[in-house]
Amino acid sequence: MAHEILVDLFKNRPSLAAELLVEVLDVPLPPYTGARLTSVDLTEIQPAEYRADLVVLLVDGDVAVGVLIVEVQLGIDPRKRFSWPEYTMGARAAHRCPVGLLVVAPDPGVAAWCAEPIETGIPGFVLRPPVLGRQAVPVVTDAAEAARRPELAVLSALAHGEGEQGVKIAAAALPAIRELDEERARFYGDVVLNSLNEAARRALEAMMKGYEYQSDFAKKYVAQGRDQGLQEGRREGERAMLLRLLRARFGELPDATVARVEAAETAVLEQWAERVLSAKTLAEVLDEPS
């Protein structure tokens, strides 16, 4: 489902491809006032059928000013070296305007392969696909930004959910997701929660007490956590996640602080995790005298 999830994010926010090309990959685009989906069928006269993952039409009023082809690439496929030039020229001919290509490739090795220039054999016509790799995806931890562009927030969780910023990304994304229509809220909630490792999900649950989870995945996870209780391995994961959050917020930790976290019980760990984002000092998190 990874391929379809990524395609759906760009489908649900047609302007997302243009925003990432300009803001992340520094690809200039013509001025436009709107973005809408158009047919993914790029076949012209050729007997072969060519279908891109997504085609977005940039418009200025009612005039088409650009067309963007979005391709999600999860593996190396030599056939794309021939179909991508075909996509771009087919779209250019069909819409009579400049064309752009955005390849989304989460795997670093695949991203490097996708970015290699494609020699078409025509002098001067070399296709250099702009590639959005995992590390290039913006880290969205600001709630206002997540509310403005929820699809970007979900993409951020997919790319960075298992890293040190995963809990902050999810904490920003989930309230924004809750404001969407029910179908998208459930879908995005599943994606965000499933992008976190187990320790991060536990830390997020402690941090966001009172949050009404929308997704079936989240509800199932919370129920299992309450029914099964905490095992020592899970407790160790919580300790490791809390230490990562503390280091991300306050820098390198004193040995005494690390020792306190490693010796703490589950209830104490959860109390500390709740305070990480709101506390101004390390002592405030751990109830230490200032």
Which of 40-54, 194-208, 273-287 shows the lowest mean pLDDT across its residues? 40-54
- In the predicted model, what is the mean pLDDT of residues 271-288? 82
Write out the two tokens for 153. 């927030």
More confident site: 78 or 223 = 78
- Per-residue confidence at 83, pLDDT binned at 50, 70, 90? very high
Q: Where are the beta strands (DSSP E) in 27-147?
A: 34-37, 54-60, 63-72, 99-105, 118-119, 126-127, 131-133
Candidates 72, 92, 69, 86; CA nearest to 9 is: 72
pLDDT 10s digits, 245-258: 888 778 888 888 88
Torsion angle defined by CA atoms of residues 68, 74, 79 and 85, in that order, rounded to the nearest 10 degrees? 20
- Is residue 48 pLDDT above 50, yes or no? no
